[in-house]
């Protein structure tokens, strides 16, 4: 198995030294409760839970998997006890309103905890993780009655939640869903249909499971404009809002669970709704808009998954590379008293380790930076500031597809490299590296594939939504950061000059696609993935430049003498990123601007293997 140690030093470097979260929290009403001492206590408590309780269950949970018997799902040995510790510790309630039993702290703190949980045991983290989106959807769109009935139990962790979107015939194209919701005389709705790929859709960890379900009313128009959203519990909720209790079993049942490549300890269910009782959330036929609250929460969580698997790969591969001996270093013996030198002396092994480190720590900065926007968005929603909510929602919308699409692709790469460091030993179960690869693979698929994220970024956010303004806004920040350093020598000056050119190049590429797209309707589809990957590499370069600059400042001012090795490693990793990973962006730029002819000219009949 991969032993897990929470990267608290790196997390604190980002929170306190690079991104100044204490000052950020001070701008939020009630943010004073998230002082440095409180944040440190939360990070340390979560680290202990993840290191001592969740990580030891990761490999055993994968080997055992979930079991399904006549509609009942049992989680692997130890999961129920671990969940009870999670619930008793109040870990689900960190960032939710005090009026429903939460601790009222900023939303970002929940994601810091989720990152540690996901690296320690991604399968386990999915059970409470899906509940977060369910809670956020009800907080924003639920009625007063729905909030009082469901939120206290969801926020305490006594109940869990899911989102039920797709169906066997439609995949990502939700316009094709056919689940029906028929109004009843008591104001409820009767839902009938089948939903697939429902993560944590059935399990034995909580007393009730609250499903957020997309369905159509009888008079709904076709397409996505005819979709409504409903809350459908596994067990109906009885009693008044202040004393809600579990009632009779609802008519929603698990037909099967999937036999998956990875995350085997997380139950992925097929759910049958057979005249199940539900209640409308938000307005009729506007369910997809409300569901995006859930989807965006899930997409940020999946972006975190990319960082989790990169971190796990690095933590597994580094000790092995330091201990395993094979051949002599090309530049001569490094450990002459040994029969061979450790793997870490070989340049290609160092390349793989540094790639994992650069992805994990660069991706962590990217997500934490975006979480500042999320904090403001959730606060605006909680106080009914619709203008503020829409602004922050739009700002975060630019980051979301890049974080989800780019970081999950790189997280999978890092996981593969981790297995590669082990050689043949990485291909067997003993060390846990092949499990990390299997678990990482799903991240590029669910909550919208890489292609879907790329279309969302280029088509919806950049071209249609903002006419390129979102790119101009972000690159303006890059230029503001780089300008004072342009004439400096050394690492800072070199990175600043590179960032300046990339900012200009990103805008020119966007303009070129914008001008060509009206004449070539296939351009956005053919260019989108390369455009997204280019955007991700440039955004991560900005993250690494900021980390290197802060580390350099602390070293020069001798404020971090006790952490000199840590800061030197930051600067050297940034140099590696700019020299070895950022050049990939140029290939993506060239491909994004290429003619669509090479993609579209072949007739479908010519796609043949005969």
- Domains with residue ranges and CATH for the chain: 293-592 (1.20.140.10)
**pLDDT the model gives residue 561:** 67
User: 608 to each of 566, 598, 599, 602, 603, how far by Cα in Å?
Assistant: 54, 17, 16, 11, 10
CA-closest candidate to residue 420, choices 443, 437, 440, 441: 437
SS3 at position 183? strand
Query: CA 200, CA 214: separation in Å to the nearest integer?
Result: 17
Which one of the listed residues 37, 447, 488, 605 is annotated catalytic?
447
C-alpha angle 534/538/539, rounded to 5°? 115
CB within 8 Å of 565: residues ≥ 6 apart: none
The per-residue pLDDT of the chain, averaged, comes to 94
Q: What mean pLDDT is predicted for residues 535-552?
A: 98
Give the tens place of pLDDT for each residue, 99-147: 999 999 999 999 999 999 999 999 999 999 999 999 999 999 999 999 9
pLDDT of residue 478 exceeding 90: yes
What is the mean pLDDT of the segment spanning 523-541?
Answer: 98
Question: Concatenated DSSP letters for 315-362?
Answer: HHHHHHHHH-B-S--TTS-SSTTSSS-BGGGSHHHHHHHHHHHHHHHH
Which region among 131-135, 233-237, 287-291 has the lowest average model confidence (pLDDT)?
287-291
Which one, of 310, 570, 600, lies nearest residue 443 by Cα? 310
Q: How confident is the model at residue 84 (pLDDT cuts 50, 70, 90)?
A: very high
Mean pLDDT of the region 299-310: 93
- Is residue 560 pLDDT above 70, yes or no? no
Give me the pLDDT at residue 241, please: 60
pLDDT of residue 32: 86
Q: What is the pLDDT of residue 242?
A: 64
Q: How confident is the model at residue 294 (pLDDT cuts 50, 70, 90)?
A: low
Distance between CA 270 and CA 254 in Å, rounded? Answer: 6
Quick one: average pLDDT of 590-608? 94
Helix, strand or coil for residue 171?
coil
- Helix (H) or strand (E) run with residue 533 in it: helix 523-556
Average pLDDT over residues 347-356: 98
Of residues 172 and 561, which shows the higher confidence score?
A: 172
pLDDT over 90 (residue 193): yes
The whole-number average pLDDT for the span 95-102 is 94
pLDDT at 447: 87
**502 or 556, which is more confident:** 502
Q: CA 467, CA 290: separation in Å to the nearest integer?
A: 25
Which residues make beta-bridge pairs with 211? 162, 232
Query: What share of the chain in percent tops pLDDT 90?
Result: 88
Q: What share of the chain is helix, strand, coil (3-state, %, to 5)?
A: 60, 10, 25
Q: Is the pLDDT of residue 292 over 90?
A: no
- Residue 215, pLDDT above cutoff 90: yes
- State the pLDDT confidence band at 563, using cuts at 50, 70 and 90: confident
Q: Which of these ranges, 105-114, 123-132, 210-219, 552-561, has the smallest mean pLDDT?
A: 552-561
* 51 carries an active-site annotation: no
Q: What does the pLDDT read at residue 503?
A: 98
Rounded distance between C-alpha atoms, residue 178 and residue 37, angstroms: 51
Q: At what angle do helices 433-441 and 287-323 cross, to 10 degrees?
A: 160
């Amino acid at each position: 198995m991969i032993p897990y140690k929470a990267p608290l030093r790196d997390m604190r470097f980002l929170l306190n030294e690079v991104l100044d979260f204490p000052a950020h929290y001070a701008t939020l009403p009630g943010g004073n409760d998230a002082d440095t001492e409180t944040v440190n206590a939360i990070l340390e408590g979560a680290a202990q839970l993840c290191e001592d309780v969740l990580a030891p269950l990761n490999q055993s949970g994968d080997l055992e998997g979930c079991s399904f018997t006549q509609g009942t799902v049992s989680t692997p040995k130890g999961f129920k006890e671990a969940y009870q510790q999670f619930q008793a510790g109040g870990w689900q309630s960190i960032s939710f309103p005090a009026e429903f039993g939460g601790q009222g702290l900023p939303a970002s703190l929940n994601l810091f905890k989720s990152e540690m949980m996901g690296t320690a045991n991604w399968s386990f983290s999915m059970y409470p993780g899906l509940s977060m989106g369910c809670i956020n959807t009800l907080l924003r769109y639920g009625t007063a009655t729905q909030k009082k009935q469901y939120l206290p139990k969801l926020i305490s962790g006594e109940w869990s939640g899911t989102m039920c979107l797709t169906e066997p015939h439609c995949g990502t194209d939700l316009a094709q869903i056919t689940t029906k919701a028929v109004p009843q005389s008591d104001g409820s709705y009767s839902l009938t249909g089948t939903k697939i790929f429902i993560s944590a859709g059935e399990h034995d960890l909580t007393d009730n499971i609250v499903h957020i379900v997309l369905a159509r009313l009888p008079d709904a128009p076709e397409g996505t404009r005819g979709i409504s959203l409903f809350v459908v519990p596994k067990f109906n909720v009885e009693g008044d809002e202040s004393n809600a209790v579990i009632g009779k079993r609802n008519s929603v049942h698990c037909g099967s669970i999937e036999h998956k490549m990875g995350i085997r300890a997380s139950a992925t269910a097929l759910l049958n709704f057979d005249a199940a009782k539900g209640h409308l959330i938000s307005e009729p036929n506007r369910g997809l808009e409300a569901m995006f609250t859930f989807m965006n929460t899930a997409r940020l969580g999946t972006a975190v998954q990319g960082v989790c698997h990169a971190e796990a790969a690095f933590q597994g591969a580094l000790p092995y590379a330091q201990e395993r001996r094979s051949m002599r270093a090309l530049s001569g013996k490094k450990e002459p008293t040994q029969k061979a030198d450790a793997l870490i002396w070989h340049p290609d092994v160092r390349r793989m380790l540094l790639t994992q480190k650069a992805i994990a720590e660069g991706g962590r900065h990217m997500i934490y930076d975006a979480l500042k926007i999320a904090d403001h968005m959730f606060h605006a929603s909680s106080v009914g500031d619709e203008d503020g909510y829409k602004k922050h929602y739009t700002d975060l919308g630019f980051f979301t597809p890049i974080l989800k699409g780019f970081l999950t692709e790189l997280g999978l790469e890092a996981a593969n490299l981790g297995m590669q460091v082990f050689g043949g030993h990485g291909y067997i179960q003993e060390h846990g590296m092949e499990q990390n690869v299997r678990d990482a693979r799903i991240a590029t698929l669910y909550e919208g594939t890489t292609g879907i994220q790329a279309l969302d970024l280029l088509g919806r956010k950049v071209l249609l939504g903002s006419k390129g303004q979102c790119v101009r806004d972000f690159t303006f920040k890059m230029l503001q950061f780089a300008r004072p350093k342009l004439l400096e020598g050394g690492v800072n000056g070199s990175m600043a000059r590179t960032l300046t050119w990339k900012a200009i190049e990103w805008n020119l590429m966007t303009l070129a696609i914008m001008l060509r797209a009206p004449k070539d309707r296939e351009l956005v589809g053919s260019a989108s993935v390369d455009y997204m990957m280019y955007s991700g590499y440039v955004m991560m370069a900005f993250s690494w430049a900021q980390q290197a600059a802060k580390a350099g400042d602390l070293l020069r001012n001798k404020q971090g003498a006790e952490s000199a090795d840590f800061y030197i490693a930051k600067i050297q990793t940034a140099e590696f990123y700019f020299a070895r990973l950022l050049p990939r962006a140029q290939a993506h730029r060239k491909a994004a601007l290429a003619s669509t002819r090479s993609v579209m000219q072949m007739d479908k009949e010519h796609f043949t293997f005969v």
